[in-house]
């Protein structure tokens, strides 16, 4: 009798399993830690995008912003006059009709808008003045550098903050976190892949010094800069030539000394002085007006944006120099220009 009951139970169980198999398996959501922004959070110093960062909502460009190769500008993005995208100077405001992949260091001029669905690739640098709006999320693996200020109401890795606290050491986001309004992210921080920038955010960059560059002895990095992925506090001068081997962004007021070399992918953005002969080892973007000192040489291939002046002659439309040009008179390169490899910038050249 017991054997018959056992067989009956087994048959019932098998029938139940067969019925269940007709339905799709339920999807389970696994919690992946991130820091959620509950109110506007300000980036107070150079911060590196260390993995693809998603633009989840329309984001304004508050100041010239350098976008690294591998980034994507979604359809609907507005590229303002004075921008430079994939080597092409943009003379008038343009709305992208389709997604545009960035294949070389590009610059979005102030007043541009980055549409939802865009992404910023690794090595894009966000500078002081960037604001992350409520709803942004800073993904696990991101690092909040020492000096970041966590305001009351924040929760970082499960720890609640009842009053504003300045981080004494770098903190990696690895657990449940919420950054309350008024929090600031210090220079030297990084944003991990998957970080999302919410609608209403704004971005800005500082002068970008690409890997492979050399800052000559006597160069000065102003406060809020990072050099070789190390935050600069209060400004620092370099006693010897310094090879650039990691993320480097120079805040306004920095100085590039003689015998410096700017590698491919560098961009002159913030108020920066060229204090001695500096060589372009590759294409260098001009993101704000550059006053080029006499004695400089602009190599063939240099793109002179509309609104520039070369040796006293005004340029009405973007022009590519077909031969090397020595600067002997008034020369101003407008935003959207590109200085070609083998160019030489003389002492007193200035980005303003």
Task: Convert the pLDDT of each residue in 77-135 to its tens digit.
Answer: 999 999 999 999 999 999 999 999 999 999 999 999 999 999 999 989 999 999 999 99
| Position 100 in a domain | yes
**What's residue 23's pLDDT?**
35
Is residue 173 located within the same domain as residue 242?
no
Structural domain of 226:
207-351
| Per-residue confidence band for 7, with pLDDT thresholds at 50, 70 and 90 | very low
Asked whether the CA dihedral 283, 119, 252, 228 is positive or negative, the reply is negative
CB atoms inside a 10 Å sphere around CB 126: 27
Domain total for the chain?
A: 2
For 74-150, list the strands marked E by DSSP: 78-79, 84-85, 88-89, 94-95, 100-101, 106-108, 113-114, 119-120, 125-126, 131-132, 137-139, 143-144, 149-150
| Position 101 in a domain | yes
| Position 10 in a domain | no
DSSP state, residue 45: S
Residue among 180, 270, 192 nearest 224 (CA): 270
DSSP state, residue 14: H
CB atoms inside a 10 Å sphere around CB 240: 10
Is residue 166 located within the same domain as residue 240?
no
Return the bridge partners of 122, or none: none
Return the bridge partners of 250, or none: 207
266-285 pLDDT, tens per residue?
999 999 999 999 999 999 99
In the chain, what is the straight-line distance between the N-terminal and C-terminal CA atoms, in Å? 96
Q: Rounded mean pLDDT of the chain? A: 90
Is residue 289 located within the same domain as residue 347?
yes
| Position 8 in a domain | no
| Position 298 in a domain | yes
Using the 3D structure, point to which of 176, 203, 230 is the last residue of a domain.
Answer: 203
297-306 pLDDT, tens per residue?
999 999 999 9
Is residue 148 located within the same domain as residue 288?
no
Q: Are 252 and 290 in contact (CB under 8 A)?
A: no
**What's residue 32's pLDDT?**
54
| Per-residue confidence band for 174, with pLDDT thresholds at 50, 70 and 90 | very high
Is residue 125 located within the same domain as residue 167?
yes
Using the 3D structure, point to which of 203, 225, 254 is the last residue of a domain.
Answer: 203
| Per-residue confidence band for 233, with pLDDT thresholds at 50, 70 and 90 | confident
Is residue 98 located within the same domain as residue 172?
yes
Q: Which residues, 6+ apart, have CB-to-CB distance to 95 below 8 Å?
A: 76, 77, 78, 79
Is residue 247 located within the same domain as residue 342?
yes
| Position 344 in a domain | yes
CA angle (145 as vertex; 186, 46 as ends), nearest 5: 45
Per DSSP, the three-state class of 240 is coil
**What's residue 33's pLDDT?**
72
| Radius of gyration for the chain, computed over Cα atoms and rounded to the nearest angstrom | 25
Using the 3D structure, point to which of 180, 203, 226 is the last residue of a domain.
Answer: 203
| Position 253 in a domain | yes
The number of angstroms, rounded, from the C-alpha of 336 to the middle of its chain's C-alpha atoms is: 17
CA distance 194 to 120: 10
Tell me the residue length of the chain: 352
Write down the pTM of the prediction: 0.85
- Residue 75 phi/psi, 5° resolution? -55, 140
Q: Are 72 and 102 in contact (CB under 8 A)?
A: yes
- 29, 34, 35, 37: CA torsion to nearest 10: -50
| Position 55 in a domain | yes
Is residue 150 located within the same domain as residue 246?
no
Backbone region of residue 54 per phi and psi (left: phi > 0; alpha: psi in -120 to 50; beta: other values): beta
């Amino acid at each position: 009798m017991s054997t018959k009951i056992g067989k009956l139970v087994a048959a019932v169980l098998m029938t139940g399993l067969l019925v269940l198999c007709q339905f799709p398996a339920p999807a389970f959501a696994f919690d992946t830690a991130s820091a959620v922004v509950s109110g506007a959070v300000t980036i107070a110093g150079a911060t590196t995008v260390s993995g693809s960062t998603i633009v989840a909502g329309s984001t304004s460009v508050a100041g010239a912003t350098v976008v690294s190769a591998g980034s994507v500008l979604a359809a609907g993005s507005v590229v303002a006059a004075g921008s430079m995208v994939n080597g092409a100077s943009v003379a008038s405001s343009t709305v992208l009709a389709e997604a545009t992949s960035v294949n070389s260091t590009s610059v979005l001029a102030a007043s541009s808008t980055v549409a939802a669905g865009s992404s910023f690739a690794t090595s894009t640098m966000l500078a002081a003045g960037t604001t992350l709006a409520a709803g942004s999320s800073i993904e696990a693996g991101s690092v909040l550098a020492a000096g970041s200020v966590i305001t009351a109401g924040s929760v970082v890795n499960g720890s609640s903050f009842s009053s504003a606290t300045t981080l004494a050491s770098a903190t990696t986001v690895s657990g449940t976190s919420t950054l309350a309004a008024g929090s600031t992210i210090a220079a030297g921080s990084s944003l991990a892949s998957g970080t999302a920038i919410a609608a209403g955010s704004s971005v800005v960059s500082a002068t970008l010094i690409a890997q492979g560059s050399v800052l000559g002895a006597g160069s000065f990095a102003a406060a809020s800069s990072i050099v070789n992925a190390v935050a600069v506090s209060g400004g620092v001068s370099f006693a010897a030539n310094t090879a650039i081997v990691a993320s480097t962004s120079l805040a306004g007021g920095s100085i590039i000394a003689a015998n410096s070399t700017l590698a491919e992918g560098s961009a002159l953005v913030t108020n920066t002085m060229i204090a001695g002969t500096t060589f372009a080892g590759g294409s260098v973007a001009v993101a704000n007006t550059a006053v080029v000192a006499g004695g400089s040489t602009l190599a063939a291939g240099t793109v002179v944006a509309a609104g520039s002046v070369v040796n006293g002659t005004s340029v009405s439309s973007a022009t590519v120099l077909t031969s090397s040009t020595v600067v002997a008179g008034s020369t101003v390169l407008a935003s959207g220009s590109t200085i070609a490899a083998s160019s030489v910038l003389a002492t007193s050249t200035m980005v303003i």
